[in-house]
Amino acid sequence: MKNDNSYKFSREFEKADKKFQVGELLIHGNEVVIAAGPCSVESEGQMLETAKGVINAGASILRGGAFKPRTSPYSFQGLGVEGLEILEKVGKKFNVPIVTEIMNTELIDLYSEKVDIIQVGARNAQNFDMLKRLGMQKRPVLLKNGLGTTVDEWLMSSEYILSNGNDNVILCYRGARGIENATRFSMDIGAVVVAKKISRLPIAVDPSHAAGKKEFVKDFALAAIAAGADMLEIEVHNNPEKALSDKEQQLSIEEFGELMDDARVVAKAIGRKIR
């Protein structure tokens, strides 16, 4: 099925890596692109401080959640539009693209206006109606795998976007359900390797959600780069202990800097670079 040139995500459809620009940044080139920032946008001060820290350490994209998909309705749900506007403002200030998750099809126009890369999270990875609509707008889409989706299903989700006219899609592996409880999710490196072989799309990895604990994040990130990831998305908070969500898995700016130092040498070893 996968080796079928009728699927636009596949290398049978087009052998070459699909590359595209986000502003001045090239996605899927030789550079392993790093997106970093907090789980949730909490305030302008938090975003300014975090952005300064992560960009200084080498991140090229700023992440931050405005609308948050939380398992419980009673957990902090994000600042919503206000969070989006803070993120936009801070991204502009530092002149870096921003990536943030969309949870609601009705907000696509707003996201298309304000957001450089629109993220589809694990919970909406098979929200086909949303994917179709995202295919009809022009912003690049970062598409995570679902908690229980296979690589085939994940690629097919990307096809909903591509077949509707938008082929600027980044596949982002964020771990999946497995048999292990010591980590938050199973980080099956095979998913990354297989997706890269089959698909011409860039592959990102989110080590933070897979690990679920900050002490594992760096090793997950290094493994992802070695396995061929074209981009990483990492949760970093200027003050992790005070974070309103995902406290345990967000790195401090200092820890992120250490990760970047190691990531740079691994990337170099396999012939790639990190800025």
Nearer to a copy of itself among residue 196 and residue 200 (C-beta)? 196
Distance in Å, CB of 59 to a copy of itself, minimum: 20
CA dist 187 and 96 (Å) reads 28
Give the residue with the Cβ less far from a copy of itself, 7 or 256: 7
26 or 227: CB nearest a copy of itself: 227
Q: Within positions 53 to 82, which residues make up the interface with a copy of itself, using CB under 8 A?
A: 67, 69-74
In angstroms, the first-to-last Cα distance of the chain is 38
CB of 95 to a copy of itself, least distance (A): 30
CA distance to 52, 146, 162, 237, per residue, from 153 (Å): 37, 9, 14, 32
Q: How far apart are CA 267 and CA 235, in angstroms?
A: 20
Beta bridge partners of 63: 99
Q: Which of residues 67 and 111 has its CB atom nearest to a copy of itself in the complex? A: 67
The residues in 140-159 that bind a copy of itself, with binding defined as CB under 8 A, are 146-153, 156, 159
If DSSP codes are grouped into helix, strand and coil, which group holds residue 172? strand
Nearer to a copy of itself, 88 or 101 (CB): 101
Residues numbered 12 to 31 that lie near a copy of itself (CB under 8 A) are: none
> Is residue 169 close enough to count as binding a copy of itself by CB under 8 A?
no
CB of 134 to a copy of itself, least distance (A): 12
Contacts of 251 (CB under 8 A, 6+ apart): 208, 214, 217, 234, 235, 236, 237, 240, 259
Closest separation in Å from C-beta 250 to a copy of itself: 18
Q: What is the DSSP string of 64-79?
A: -BSS---SSTTS----
CA pseudo-torsion sign 205, 208, 209, 215: positive
Q: Are strands 20-22 and 25-27 parallel, antiparallel or unpaired?
A: antiparallel
Q: Which two tokens stand for residue 262?
A: 């190691």
Among 19, 190, 258, 273, which residue sits at the site for a copy of itself (rule: CB under 8 A)?
190
CA distance 210 to 173: 9
Of 76, 193, 252, 275, the residue at the interface with a copy of itself (CB under 8 A) is 193
Q: Which is nearer to a copy of itself, 63 or 196 (CB)?
A: 196
Least distance (Å) between residue 168 CB and a copy of itself? 17
Supply the minimum distance, in Å, between the C-beta of residue 238 and a copy of itself.
Answer: 26
Name which of residues 215 to 274 contact a copy of itself (CB under 8 A). Answer: 215-216, 219-220, 222-228, 262, 265-266, 268-270
What would the x/- binding string for a copy of itself be over residues 95 to 134, using CB under 8 A? Answer: --------xxxx---------------xxx-xxxx--x--
CA distance 105 to 107: 5
Contact 120/131 with Cβ under 8 angstroms?
yes
Closest approach, Cβ 205 to a copy of itself, in A, equals 10
